[in-house]
Amino acid sequence: MRFGLIGLGGIGQVRKAAIEQSPACTLTAAFDINKDNAAQLDSGVQFFDSLEAMLNTDSCDAVVISTPTNFHCEQAIAALEAGKHVIVEKPMASSLEQCQQMLDAARRADKVLTVGFNHRYFEAVKDVRNAIQSGEIGKLSYIRAYTGHTGLSEFKSPWMYDKDVMGGGTLMDNGIHVLDLTQHLMGGVNNVSGVALTDIWKLGRSEDNGFALMRGKDGVAAILHSSWSEWKGYRFYVEAYGDKGMARAYYAPMMSTVITMDKPGGKPVKRRNFYLSAIFREKLKGWQSTVIQTFIEEIDDFVALTKGRGKTGCIATAEDGYRVTEIANAVYKSSETSETVAIKGST
């Protein structure tokens, strides 16, 4: 499949490397408002001066959108209407209304639209998903999740913490990945209550810490904390607890733990996985090398969808992208009203 890349910044460069290394596709076209970024492209890739110019040609079959979040909606709709399949980076858009408009455009155009929730492809996360789906930890009861980084010192541009662009603060930034993992692992969320705090960075409408308490299918509960005040580095974990054990994914470094027992309180059997190849690869080639692996797997699932082979692997659909944005927005509403907010999903 021939891919066009819209946005050649920080994550766009990682997307570029993944497309180039993926056996399923070729990078054939690119657009970025900063023309200097064209210098990073191989000679076989056609760089366009405008999105319209790129979409008006037959230079690609699908696009990856890795621009600031407030451009996702208009660029995705333009690409879908031009007959391209679309992978859009997380978060799907700056508002829930925009997510719905993108979904409607994909349905009208009969093209595939997916959202870049690549954390689903982390090996440690797959271990947790397998432990739930195989019944290894028994009946799932609750999930506990955390994600944090150092906040403003992490950001290269002010739009990255501007609510008008990102749709929120930490919950729409690093939190959106772990909100997605949580709702994905627990099989959907029915209602949410939560708190959004702005005490540390004092950014007005962009929260620096967000807390969500969720209730899902069969009464499964989840609690999540997303932070911009993890004062050292970046990390996340997701822990799933059942009536016969627990499974935990941790990053970074990548590791997972599964503890099982025949009944609550029984003799525990512990299995720990250290993903040594990922750990050493990151030491040599940086965190981007792990993200590239996940993007390559995501592209495989995406291509399968565009070929009508149905949903393979764990790719996040546009409906997933909508639902996760809805959960983050529900925390904002609950924080203002102190009420529990129902999650309805897209129409």
* Residue ranges in 293-322 that form contacts with ligand NAD under rule CB under 6 A: none
Q: Which of 28, 62, 63, 71 binds ligand NAD (CB under 6 A)?
A: 71
Window of 1-9, 53-61, 205-213, 316-324 that interacts with ligand NAD by CB under 6 A: 1-9
The one-letter code for the residue type at 50 is: S
Q: Which is nearer to ligand NAD, 137 or 166 (CB)?
A: 166
- The nearest distance, CB 31 to ligand NAD, in angstroms, is 6
Is 195 within 8 Å of 185 (Cβ atoms)? no
> How many residues in the shown chain lie near ligand NAD by CB under 6 A?
23
CA–chain centroid gap for 162, Å, is 19
- The nearest distance, CB 157 to ligand NAD, in angstroms, is 5
Report if residue 118 touches ligand NAD, rule: CB under 6 A: yes
Q: How many Å apart are CA 177 and CA 159, to the nearest integer?
A: 19
Q: Which is nearer to ligand NAD, 53 or 342 (CB)?
A: 53
Comparing every residue's Cβ against ligand NAD, the nearest one is 9
- The nearest distance, CB 41 to ligand NAD, in angstroms, is 12
Q: Which of 40, 41, 68, 340 binds ligand NAD (CB under 6 A)?
A: 68
Report if residue 9 touches ligand NAD, rule: CB under 6 A: yes
Nearest 5 degrees, angle CA 137-CA 141-CA 145? 90
Contact track, ligand NAD, 22-61, x by CB under 6 A:
---------xxxx--x------------------------
Window of 16-24, 65-73, 95-103, 255-263 that interacts with ligand NAD by CB under 6 A: 65-73
* Residues near ligand NAD, by CB under 6 A: 6-12, 31-34, 37, 66-69, 71, 89-90, 116, 118, 156-157
